[in-house]
Structure 1
């Protein structure tokens, strides 16, 4: 599963989603994690009510299951959740690798229901359809 981090320094979750200079994206499983890409943002990122600046960030995280942020505005959070991405706010700057280590431990155990749900993001739903006749002879 892919996890995104709002970051100014590429080391810690230390940025408001709308103001972040970088979004670091990692792939994580119970066995390992690795860095996939950093998406960088330029221009005027300060709080200004301009919702259009969120569009490139939302595009960058569209395949992610979780987004870690230092803060996120209400409309940004609503748009992230609408994309079936689970936003998680950290209370103070936290190292990305520390978060990944903790998340990996959770994945090795029994993840909570919300995490099991987001882990399936992008997975194809498989339905088994049986012919009525096959079922009647079973």
Structure 2
């Protein structure tokens, strides 16, 4: 079973500047304070919108049926599909780990998984995402943002 909490009125938070598109991200967590879970064993996903100058909490998804954090599924129940479906609209997923079959489902859903080596506060992940957006985002993020351009060193034939 899963539950969703959505923020209805975000009037307490300033939104992105005109022309600035927020990036929706998901963070695998068990306590809503720390990126501290593997994808399959995450009891919750915290969903945020992030832009260059700010961020806001959008929703949380909680799951009762999770995998054991052992790197393999502990039974035949499909515990992954409901999680992928809960991430609809997200561009990035931050988790401590994600197995191959889960990663394939996440990527197929248009979400780029990002594995982190160690647990860290969600606030740090949000700040780092803002810094990526303010600087020169990596190619996968520029593609997501629709700002992927041909590198200067490539001619048109190589790019096509």
Mapped partners of 2:80, 2:35: distance in 1: 18
1:6–1:22 contact (8 Å) kept in structure 2: yes
Query: 1:12 aligned to 2:34?
Result: yes
Q: 2:143 aligns with which of 117, 135, 138?
A: 117
Q: Which structure has the higher relative contact order (CA within 8 Å, separation 6+)?
A: 1
Q: 1:88 aligns with which of 106, 114, 124?
A: 114
TM-score by length of 1: 0.81
After TM superposition, the runs of 4+ consecutive aligned structure 1 residues lying more than 3 A away are none
Query: 1:104 offset after TM fit, Å?
Result: 0.3
Higher CA-based Rg: 1
Q: 1:78 aligns with which of 101, 104, 110?
A: 104
2:40–2:67 contact (8 Å) kept in structure 1: yes
2:24 equivalent in structure 1: 2
Instruction: Report the aligned-residue RMSD.
Output: 1.4
Mapped partners of 1:70, 1:15: distance in 2: 6
Bigger helix fraction: 1
2:42–2:66 contact (8 Å) kept in structure 1: no
Query: 1:51 offset after TM fit, Å?
Result: 5.9
Query: 1:54 offset after TM fit, Å?
Result: 0.8
Summarize the Cα distance change of 1:73–1:50 in structure 2 as closer, same or farther, 3 Å threshold.
Answer: farther
Which consecutive unaligned segments of at least 5 residues does structure 1 have? 121-138
2:61 equivalent in structure 1: 39
How many residues in Structure 1 have an aligned counterpart in Structure 2? 120
